[in-house]
Amino acid sequence: MKDNLQGFPRRTSLRQLRAFGAYVKAGSISGAAETLGLTPPAVSQQLKLLEEALGGLPLTLRDRDGIRPTAAGEEVLLALGRIEAALAECADAVAAIAGVQRGSVAVGVVSTAKYWAPFALAAFQREHPEIELKVRVGNRSQIVKAFSAFELDLAIMGYPPEDQPLERATIGAHPHVIVAPPDHPLVGRRALPVAALARERFLLREPGSGTHALLRRLLESAGIRAAGDAILLPGATEIGSNESIKQAVMAGMGIALLSAHTVASEVQDGRLAVLDVEGLPIVRTWYVVRRTDRRAMPAAQALWQHMVREGPAYLPRRPERPSAARSAA
């Protein structure tokens, strides 16, 4: 197989790689053709040529959920991401040489940061109207995956991955608290041990989110078991967004560990209460991160400097406690 791949770089075109990327993303030949402005037979031909260049290795598998890339296909997608990133960098660099004050920045925002990061990004846009911002919001695993595929210039997150070549700069503190409805029996009790919460009905984010991982570690520290990424609590309910969890807590469905920045206004006006739990708040850090193996273009560098310099001013104030509960500050 190694001998069959000797001529792979010479026999492969950007058109073939883009056809494969569009096919995986669309899930069908016709969808890829529509994305690329080609005919379905033309897309099929590009995919065939690409597989032949790889010595006949299959690049996709089909199951009941549709198509998915094989291990070889994942490598091709990673190469495509690197190439597209290099081409975008080249375009920005040429524009900078020509004295054109413009550019674009792809920035990822973990969903917990959407309560404050858009205000910081909006301020940057007002200062740099010539720079196009492409913002992607997702949970931590989605943002990390986008970084791996070279789809982002920067990201705003609390848990940068350790297995990627990233540079990080601190924006500010990121506290996490456990919230409950104001009439919950535990509101007003002092220094609750974490183990006392084991029988409570927890509302939690999906595995892959930062708050899910943080809650799992907090519970494990109190001897509450977890199996892999699963949190083993009676009656635990997984809910897909912080906003939905807040609404469910206010409705009396349970309690939740959430970023204090996502619940500041609800605590302030008395719709939620912060429980006084030993060891909380857990204070993490907000970072802006970027790849060290990717050249920072002028537009991305300008946003990096803005987030480091101005980002802290947009962090919400830590929520004040209701009168019955001790402050989470």
Q: pLDDT (tens digit, 9 = 90+) per residue, 77-87?
A: 998 988 888 88
Distance between CA atoms of residues 44 and 67, nearest Å: 15
Owner of token pair 């006084």: 276
Residue 3's pLDDT band, with cuts at 50, 70 and 90, is low
CA-nearest of 155, 121, 172 to 291 is 155
Q: How confident is the model at residue 178 (pLDDT cuts 50, 70, 90)?
A: very high
E strands, 49-208, where?
A: 60-63, 66-69, 103-110, 131-138, 154-157, 166-180, 203-204
DSSP per residue over 237-255, as a string?
Answer: EE-S-HHHHHHHHHTTS-B
* pLDDT band at residue 180 under the 50/70/90 scheme: very high
Say whether pLDDT at 329 is over 50: no
- Decide: 139 and 259 in contact? Cβ < 8 Å: no
What average pLDDT score do residues 235-262 get? 91
Residue 267 pLDDT class (50, 70, 90 cuts): very high
Q: Please report, for the chain, how many H helices and E strands are present, in that order.
A: 10, 13
Integer angstrom CA distances of residue 94 from 90, 103, 192, 204, 297: 6, 11, 59, 47, 10
Q: What are phi and psi of 151, to 5 degrees?
A: -95, -10
When pLDDT is averaged across residues 66-82 and rounded to a whole number, the result is 90
CATH class, range 3-78 = mainly alpha
Mean pLDDT across the chain: 85
pTM recorded for the entire structure: 0.65
pLDDT recorded at residue 294: 82
Model pLDDT, residue 323: 38
Q: Could you tell me where the beta strands, DSSP code E, fall in 19-83? A: 60-63, 66-69
Q: According to the model, what pLDDT value does residue 183 have?
A: 95
User: What percentage of the chain carries pLDDT values higher than 90?
Assistant: 49
Write the single-letter amino acid at 227.
Answer: A
- Model confidence at 8: pLDDT above 70: no
Q: Which CATH class is domain 100-172+285-314?
A: alpha beta
* pLDDT surpasses 70 at 326: no
Given the candidates 3.40.190.10, 1.10.10.10, 3.40.50.300, 3.90.650.10, the CATH classification of the domain at 175-283 is 3.40.190.10
Q: What is the mean pLDDT of residues 307-329?
A: 66
Q: Calculate what percentage of the chain has a pLDDT beyond 70.
A: 88
Domain boundaries, the chain: 3-78, 100-172+285-314, 175-283
Q: Can 3-78 and 175-283 be said to share one CATH topology?
A: no
Reply yes or no on whether the pLDDT at 229 is more than 90: no
Check pLDDT > 80 for residue 54: yes
Predicted pLDDT of residue 82? 87
- Quickly count: other Cβ atoms within 10 Å of residue 273's Cβ: 29
Residues in the chain, overall count = 329
Q: Is the pLDDT score of 284 beyond 60?
A: yes
pLDDT of residue 195: 85
